Chains A and B, each alone.
Chain A
Amino acid sequence: MKAILKTFALTAALSIVSAAGAVADGTGWKPSGPIKMIIAFAAGGGADTQARLIADDIQAATGWEVIPEQVTGKGGVNALLALKDMPADGTAIAMVVTESLGYNAAAAGNAGIVPSDFAGLTTTAGFQMGVVAKADKGWSSFADTIAAAKEGNLRFGTMSPKLSDLAFLLGEAQGVEFNIVQVAGGKAVMNGVQAGDMDLGFMAGIQGKGVASGDLVNLASALSEPLVQTPDAPTLADLGVQFNADGYFVFVAPGGMDTAARDALTAAIVEAANNGKASAMIEKAFGGAVTIQGSELDALLQSDYEAASELMQAVQ
């Protein structure tokens, strides 16, 4: 009797589990095996944490096995190169930034990476990219900074070649020359500005707490829109630069992917970014989820890639 009861309980449990699975992947698509999630960011950082939480969320919600793997370096180009030749059946995806497929792909011309090689799934969050300095510099507006730069070259910290180009154009538009110091990652810009190794620099959200406490100042928005935290700071366009640092974390898959797979993966990631464990983290670190998908995302990636060559020509 006991044995029969046990079998019955087991069968019941199994059927509930499989029913839950069927509900979760509503589109009916299922990966043919574990999904490899390539992460283009160093282990342990904010971006990596976000990706791993999303992986956990997807696994919990759908039952698909997601295996995160780090492929770092070259501003996401290494990750894209690794992804490019993987099967386009939904078993391989990567998290990079839009800049990886835009400026970085264009700059790494000989690597042979173009947006059309990839299927964009969805963005997860944007950056609040500002031009930031320490409050004790005494600059209350960008004009003060320029006045100081006219007395002696200021050091401008950046964290990617694209941002270095933008810093150069910003100086040119304002009639000053910055000594542009490119470092690895926003944390390094923050440390440099704090230690006095740099006078100002680009920070993509990491400055939030410091600006709130009054130790740091957002002098300008590097985006096409004003910063949420400092809406009065001028944008790069206001300062005479026709390019901007708009950018997002984005999931991509190899090109030529089946629509059902693309839709199912996109839906799973969007769900994680909006409601999963990842959503709380994204809210805290990046000011909330931004999920641009489908043809809108394709257009965004293509236009970023094309704008990159214009930007590179502008600094020549």
Chain B
Amino acid sequence: MGLWEHIVAGVLAVLLSEPLLGVPVVILMVSGGFLLGITVGATPGLAGPMAMAIALPILISIFGFSNDALLPVLGFLIGIMKGATVGGAVPAILFNTPGTPDAYMTTLDGYPMAQKGEAKRALRIAHFSSASGDTFSDIVLVVCAPFLAILVERYLDLPEKTALLILSLAFIASVIGGSVGKGIISMGLGLLAAMIATGEDFYPRLTMGQSNLAEGIPIAAAVLGVLILGEVFKALEDLHRQSGSNASPEITPGKGSALSRADLRRLFPYVGRSALIGTCIGALPGVGSTLAATLGYTTAKRRYIASKPDYAPDFGDGAAEGIAATEAANSSVSGANLIPVLSLGIPGNAAAVFLILAMDSIGGFNPGPSVFRLGGGIGDSVMNPEMVMVFGIFTSMFVANALNWTIGGIFMRSVGFMARIPKERLLPIVLLLTLTAIYVQETSMAAIWMTVFFGFLGYGMRRVGMSPLPFVIAFILGQNLEATARQAFAATGADPFFLFNSPIALAFILMSSGVVIYNLRKSAP
């Protein structure tokens, strides 16, 4: 079966999925996820990954572990991921409070515009830029992921694959967060946790005789504990310390003009440039949408100063270009960050972590180069079900884009009230939902205690200024790294220097040391 048959089958898998309430279930799930994502994004204190984390175990308990479950579950998660970046701009513009961290730059021009009575216009610009960036990024994903996968398959043998994993971890540890040392410690802790009770030996190692650990640490317990509980604990403490709120007064969207063709033409170069920046950053593992937004904004600012007419507002005083540059950049991360996920199985940010977690829990889809192999390794006359699944995922992403262009803007302008929900109410709900979700998936109290333990670990890491993301990514890649390294060692006839014998592997290892040393020097005073 050729590529075309796989594409058609993938599209049909979405469009002809079992109807629920008269709508194909995958499309329904993407829509549900998307609207939930906008709502969550518009709520300061909640973020896309949080909603994805809580939704995942609940979705799995509804859809089960069958192959039919993958697309509806992934569709919902992708919907949340995309909706949240759009929604993040709403409170940024109306309340001067970013709904998601990557919308911080949007407050700089969004809120001043709103103060001038142009709130609705600002929201429209944010939506237009966000949807454009997102669509662009998805197109790049569809074009690039298969080629990257084929390149990996053709040129990388087991030692090179090991070296590539080491390079990804080195990159993530040194780029995320302010300190290379803390990043590496965070990554090391993640690898240590991944070592517990895994490996090829029949004896469950590092469990200290605890039978609850014999199956290893449940991946959901570690990931949700560090990412979600850690955040909730820290936010609760922050609330406790803060007295009174210093929120800016709300501005209602009011009436405003639609964007004219001239507006769009003026904004287009800013959107385009930022979309390109966001896409490139998204494709690198570990560098998230916040950096993309910052880079998009600063690049646009430099451009703008050089070319702006005298009467136009400066960046920071309500320039439409500022909103456009930020929103296009942070939204274009979401498609591109699936490039390393699908072609290498390496997650680049928290949202990608939950997509991998979903694929891993449901089974039947193992992200990596084999996904893009025609015939699935069985024969040319046979469909590769994983490849069909990939095109189903791509189709879901474009369904989300279509929703974004059509109803996204309208829905976005109606969720401003979410920012008024007090965190004192919100955080305990998140805490309870997370623990419930863990119990639904693992059905054991031991898993709950482990989650709470990792929650305190995540809290501690945040307190000392250590990013928990390297921990999570290392935890997810840890087993893969160990298995690949073992296999490479065996395949080369027990050669201890397998990482240094091929030019590509050697280059990856040198780059790994290079990226650590470079970032160490940069952060040194």
On whether A194 and B490 interact (CB within 8 A), knowing A43-B361, A44-B65, the answer reads no
Chain B residues, CB < 8 A from A44: 65-67, 362-364
Is B215's CB within 8 Å of the partner chain A? yes
Of the candidate stretches B197-205, B227-235, B315-323, B429-437, the one touching chain A is: B197-205
**Interface residue from A43, A73, A194 paired with B65 (Cβ < 8 Å):** A43
Is A123's CB within 8 Å of the partner chain B? no
Q: In the bound complex, what is the Cα–Cα distance between A213 and B492 (angstroms)?
A: 31
Is B410's CB within 8 Å of the partner chain A? no
**Interface residue from A45, A72, A104, A190 paired with B377 (Cβ < 8 Å):** A190
Is A107's CB within 8 Å of the partner chain B? yes
| Closest residue of A by beta carbon distance from B363 | A44
Is B32's CB within 8 Å of the partner chain A? no
Is A18's CB within 8 Å of the partner chain B? no
Interface SS of chain B: loop
Is A299's CB within 8 Å of the partner chain B? no
Asked if A181 and B377 sit within 8 Å, CB to CB, the answer is no
| Closest residue of B by beta carbon distance from A72 | B215
Asked if B158 and A197 sit within 8 Å, CB to CB, the answer is yes
Q: In the bound complex, what is the Cα–Cα distance between A78 and B369 (angstroms)?
A: 31
Asked if A182 and B487 sit within 8 Å, CB to CB, the answer is yes
Q: In the bound complex, what is the Cα–Cα distance between A97 and B203 (angstroms)?
A: 18
Smallest CB separation, B491 vs chain A (Å): 5
Within 8 A of B (CB), among A186-236: 187, 190-198, 209-210, 212-216
- Bitwise interface map of B from 377 to 406 toward A, beta carbon under 8 Å scored 1, else 0: 111111000000000000000000000000
Asked if A213 and B381 sit within 8 Å, CB to CB, the answer is yes
| Closest residue of B by beta carbon distance from A215 | B379
Is B515's CB within 8 Å of the partner chain A? no
| Closest residue of B by beta carbon distance from A71 | B215
Is A12's CB within 8 Å of the partner chain B? no
- Bitwise interface map of B from 338 to 371 toward A, beta carbon under 8 Å scored 1, else 0: 0000000000000000000000011110100110
Asked if A198 and B200 sit within 8 Å, CB to CB, the answer is no
On whether A209 and B215 interact (CB within 8 A), knowing A108-B203, A195-B369, the answer reads no
Chain A residues, CB < 8 A from B491: 155, 179, 181, 197-198
Within 8 A of A (CB), among B401-454: 443
Is A117's CB within 8 Å of the partner chain B? no
Chain B residues, CB < 8 A from A255: none
Chain B residues, CB < 8 A from A214: 379
Is B157's CB within 8 Å of the partner chain A? yes
Is B375's CB within 8 Å of the partner chain A? yes
Is A74's CB within 8 Å of the partner chain B? yes
Within 8 A of B (CB), among A237-287: none
Smallest CB separation, B215 vs chain A (Å): 5
| Closest residue of B by beta carbon distance from A135 | B379
**Interface residue from B67, B158, B216, B370 paired with A73 (Cβ < 8 Å):** B216
Smallest CB separation, B213 vs chain A (Å): 11
Smallest CB separation, B370 vs chain A (Å): 5
Is A147's CB within 8 Å of the partner chain B? no
Q: In the bound complex, what is the Cα–Cα distance between A4 and B478 (angstroms)?
A: 67
Q: In the bound complex, what is the Cα–Cα distance between A135 and B481 (angstroms)?
A: 30
Asked if B487 and A183 sit within 8 Å, CB to CB, the answer is yes
Is A1's CB within 8 Å of the partner chain B? no
Smallest CB separation, A188 vs chain B (Å): 9
Chain A residues, CB < 8 A from B363: 42-45, 48
Is B140's CB within 8 Å of the partner chain A? no
Q: Which of A108, A187, A195 has the most C-beta atoms of chain B within 10 angstroms of its own C-beta?
A: A195
Q: In the bound complex, what is the Cα–Cα distance between A69 and B65 (angstroms)?
A: 12
On whether A179 and B492 interact (CB within 8 A), knowing A73-B197, A108-B202, A194-B377, the answer reads yes
Smallest CB separation, A277 vs chain B (Å): 13
- Bitwise interface map of B from 204 to 232 toward A, beta carbon under 8 Å scored 1, else 0: 10000001001110000000000000000
- Bitwise interface map of A from 156 to 175 toward B, beta carbon under 8 Å scored 1, else 0: 00000100000000000000
Q: In the bound complex, what is the Cα–Cα distance between A153 and B203 (angstroms)?
A: 30
Asked if B490 and A179 sit within 8 Å, CB to CB, the answer is yes
Q: In the bound complex, what is the Cα–Cα distance between A261 and B363 (angstroms)?
A: 33
Q: In the bound complex, what is the Cα–Cα distance between A249 and B216 (angstroms)?
A: 24
Q: In the bound complex, what is the Cα–Cα distance between A117 and B176 (angstroms)?
A: 51
Asked if B204 and A74 sit within 8 Å, CB to CB, the answer is yes
Is A3's CB within 8 Å of the partner chain B? no
On whether A194 and B202 interact (CB within 8 A), knowing A45-B363, A181-B490, the answer reads no
Q: In the bound complex, what is the Cα–Cα distance between A49 and B64 (angstroms)?
A: 11
30 intermolecular pairs with C-beta atoms under 8 Å apart: A44-B67, A45-B363, A45-B364, A49-B66, A73-B198, A75-B202, A78-B204, A81-B211, A110-B203, A155-B491, A161-B202, A179-B491, A179-B493, A179-B494, A181-B491, A183-B483, A184-B483, A191-B370, A191-B377, A192-B487, A193-B377, A194-B377, A195-B153, A195-B373, A209-B378, A209-B379, A210-B379, A213-B379, A214-B379, A215-B379
A43-B362, A195-B370 given. 8 additional CB < 8 A pairs? A43-B361, A78-B215, A104-B202, A179-B491, A181-B491, A194-B373, A194-B377, A212-B379
Chain A residues close to B by CB (< 8 Å) = 42-45, 48-49, 52, 69, 71-75, 77-78, 81, 104, 107-108, 110-111, 153, 155, 161, 177, 179-184, 187, 190-198, 209-210, 212-216
For the complex of A and B, list the 7 residue pairs with the smallest distance between their C-beta atoms, beginning with the closest.
A44-B363, A213-B379, A108-B202, A194-B377, A43-B65, A215-B379, A209-B378
Chain B residues close to A by CB (< 8 Å) = 65-67, 153, 157-158, 197-198, 200, 202-204, 211, 214-216, 361-364, 366, 369-370, 373, 375, 377-382, 443, 483, 486-487, 490-494
